[in-house]
């Protein structure tokens, strides 16, 4: 790459204060003295740790999509719903836009974030960068905001209580896999320091 590896400055995303990049001991954070935003966290092995967490999240994601999420028992009949059932149900009723939104927030976005992270992190563990790593990484940081798996989980709990009086809902394997997915993905996201990730990506061989 023709560009210098990194400029000697960091700027605060929240208040635009500019600083020379300090030497940070491992495991410590740099906080903007003006607005208290977190600027840098130096976790020496974050690529390995995040890769492991995202792999686990990917497995949970598959499990969550294969097994039933909830089972409804009413009138001596059982009815399984898979995770995608909350999208197809809306679609069947003609609420296409709403189905699209729900599917995007609880299936497509988490799926994309997991896939993109694997694509970026696994090669990076060996100091490599694949072809579309930069644009993917950029798309990933935009997509993260629209990944609402934890909100969906709260919605599932509320639904349990809401239907409690009319029918019986039981939780399936997929529900617990979904919980695992949320935990793994959220820890992976918090472990990754964006600026460190970009710095490592620039240093990686194509």
C-alpha 127/C-alpha 78 separation (Å) is 51
What's the start-to-end Cα distance of the chain, in Å? Answer: 10
Least gap, CB of 190 to another protein (angstroms): 13
Name the residue nearer to another protein (CB basis): 59 or 196. Answer: 196
Place of tokens 């009319």: 166
Q: Which residues lie across from 78 on neighbouring strands?
A: 73
Name the residue nearer to another protein (CB basis): 55 or 67. Answer: 67
Name the residue nearer to another protein (CB basis): 35 or 66. Answer: 35
Local structure of 201: helix, strand or coil: helix
Q: 3-state secondary structure string, 42-85?
A: CCCCHHHHHHHHHHHHHHHHHHHHHCEEEEEEECCEEEEEECCH
Q: Work out the burial of residue 144: count CB atoms within 10 Å of its CB; fewer than 13 is exposed, 13-18 middle, 19 or more buried.
A: middle
Least gap, CB of 100 to another protein (angstroms): 10
Name the residue nearer to another protein (CB basis): 126 or 145. Answer: 145
Least gap, CB of 38 to another protein (angstroms): 9
Least gap, CB of 168 to another protein (angstroms): 11
Name the residue nearer to another protein (CB basis): 112 or 152. Answer: 152
Least gap, CB of 180 to another protein (angstroms): 19
Q: Count the Cβ atoms, other than its own, within 10 Å of residue 60.
A: 22
Name the residue nearer to another protein (CB basis): 52 or 148. Answer: 148
* Residue 188, CA distances (Å) to 69, 126, 176, 179 in order: 24, 18, 18, 14
Least gap, CB of 176 to another protein (angstroms): 16
CB 99 within 8 A of CB 81: no
Structure letter (DSSP) for residue 204: S
């Amino acid at each position: 790459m023709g560009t210098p590896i990194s400029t000697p400055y960091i700027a605060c995303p929240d208040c635009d204060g500019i600083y020379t990049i300090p030497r940070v001991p491992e495991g410590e954070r740099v906080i903007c003295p003006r607005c208290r935003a977190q600027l840098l966290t130096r976790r020496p092995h974050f690529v390995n740790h995040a890769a492991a967490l995202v792999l686990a999240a990917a497995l949970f994601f598959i499990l969550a999509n294969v097994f039933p999420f909830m089972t409804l028992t009413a009138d001596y009949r059982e009815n399984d719903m898979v995770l995608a059932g909350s999208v197809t149900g809306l679609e069947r009723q003609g609420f296409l836009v709403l189905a699209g939104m729900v599917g995007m927030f609880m299936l497509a976005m988490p799926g994309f974030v997991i896939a993109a992270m694997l694509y970026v992190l696994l090669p990076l563990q060996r100091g490599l960068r694949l072809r579309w790593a930069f644009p993917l990484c950029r798309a990933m940081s935009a997509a993260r905001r629209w990944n609402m798996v934890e909100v969906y989980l709260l919605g599932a709990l509320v639904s349990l209580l809401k239907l409690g009086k009319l029918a019986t809902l039981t939780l399936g394997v997929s529900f617990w896999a979904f919980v695992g997915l949320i935990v793994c993905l959220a820890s992976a996201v918090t472990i990754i320091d964006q600026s460190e990730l970009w710095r490592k990506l620039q240093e990686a061989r194509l």
